[in-house]
């Protein structure tokens, strides 16, 4: 597989799993491409021929984008964070925890944070109608903190949870 070969090259730290727009001289173009993320961009003439990222993979152009070193950051899992930031432990108060993953705005411009069902639901196999209208979320990893010190209320009626049949047994 060509992508796996590219991922094994020096400095390559990842790739876009979906098509992205190519960036040329700092500007986003209309050209669809596979972005190859590198820790440091090196001029082609300084690379060995077998370390050069191909200009295309299976007919799709590539775009080499420098993003620096990628590493997990150390975090205080029992700390209090205001405002709420990405990557901290959060979860339904009745379970352990997961990670808040993104922010979004509703049509009224209110900002909310989101994650996956296994983080926010006390049982992600339940259908939406089986969830309480309001859920308390803990900002601490229950395994690390032992008990929730900071609880955030959810807002009923915001967002939509779509239940899907389980595709694989994760137990």
- pLDDT tens-place values along the chain, 171 residues long: 788 899 999 999 999 988 999 999 888 999 999 999 999 999 999 999 999 999 999 999 999 999 988 876 666 655 666 666 667 666 666 666 677 777 666 677 776 666 776 776 666 666 655 555 444 444 444 444 444 444 444 444 444 444 555 544 544
What per-residue confidence (pLDDT) applies to 1? 78
In 25-58, which positions are buried (b, 16+ CB within 10 angstroms) versus exposed (e)? eeeeeeeebbbbbbbeeeeeeeeeeeeebeeebe
Whole-number Å distance between alpha carbons of 136 and 138: 7
- Whether residue 60 is found in the same domain as residue 85: no
- Whether residue 60 is found in the same domain as residue 118: no
Look at the chain and report how many structural domains it folds into.
Answer: 2
What per-residue confidence (pLDDT) applies to 98? 73
- Whether residue 62 is found in the same domain as residue 79: no
> Of 12, 40, 66, which closes a domain?
66
> Of 43, 66, 89, which closes a domain?
66
- Whether residue 136 is found in the same domain as residue 160: yes
Determine the structural domain holding residue 127 and report its residue range. 72-171
- Whether residue 10 is found in the same domain as residue 30: yes
Length of the chain: 171
What per-residue confidence (pLDDT) applies to 77? 56
> Of 46, 66, 86, which closes a domain?
66
Whole-number Å distance between alpha carbons of 41 and 62: 14
- Whether residue 90 is found in the same domain as residue 34: no
- Whether residue 111 is found in the same domain as residue 171: yes
pTM of the predicted model as reported, rounded to 2 decimal places: 0.50
Whole-number Å distance between alpha carbons of 139 and 142: 9
Is the peptide bond prior to 49 cis by the omega test (within 30 degrees of 0)?
no
- Whether residue 90 is found in the same domain as residue 159: yes
- Whether residue 40 is found in the same domain as residue 79: no
Whole-number Å distance between alpha carbons of 142 and 148: 6
- Whether residue 13 is found in the same domain as residue 35: yes
Q: Which helix (H) or strand (E) holds 23?
A: strand 20-24
CB atoms within 10 A of CB 84: 16
What per-residue confidence (pLDDT) applies to 56? 94
């Amino acid at each position: 597989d060509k992508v796996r070969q590219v991922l094994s090259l020096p400095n390559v730290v990842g790739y876009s799993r979906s098509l992205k727009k190519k960036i040329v001289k700092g500007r986003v173009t209309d050209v669809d491409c596979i972005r190859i993320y590198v820790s440091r961009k090196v001029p082609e003439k300084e690379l060995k021929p077998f370390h050069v990222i191909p200009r295309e993979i299976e007919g799709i152009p590539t775009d080499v984008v420098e993003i620096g070193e990628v590493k997990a950051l150390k975090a205080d899992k029992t700390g209090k964070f205001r405002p709420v930031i990405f990557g901290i432990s959060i979860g339904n108060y009745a379970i352990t925890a997961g990670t808040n993953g993104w922010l979004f705005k509703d049509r009224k411009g209110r900002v909310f944070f989101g994650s996956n069902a296994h983080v926010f639901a006390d049982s992600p196999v339940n259908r939406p109608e089986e969830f309480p209208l309001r859920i308390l979320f803990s900002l601490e990893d229950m395994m690390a903190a032992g008990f929730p010190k900071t609880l955030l209320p959810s807002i009923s009626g915001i967002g939509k949870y779509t239940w899907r049949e389980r595709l694989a047994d994760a137990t």
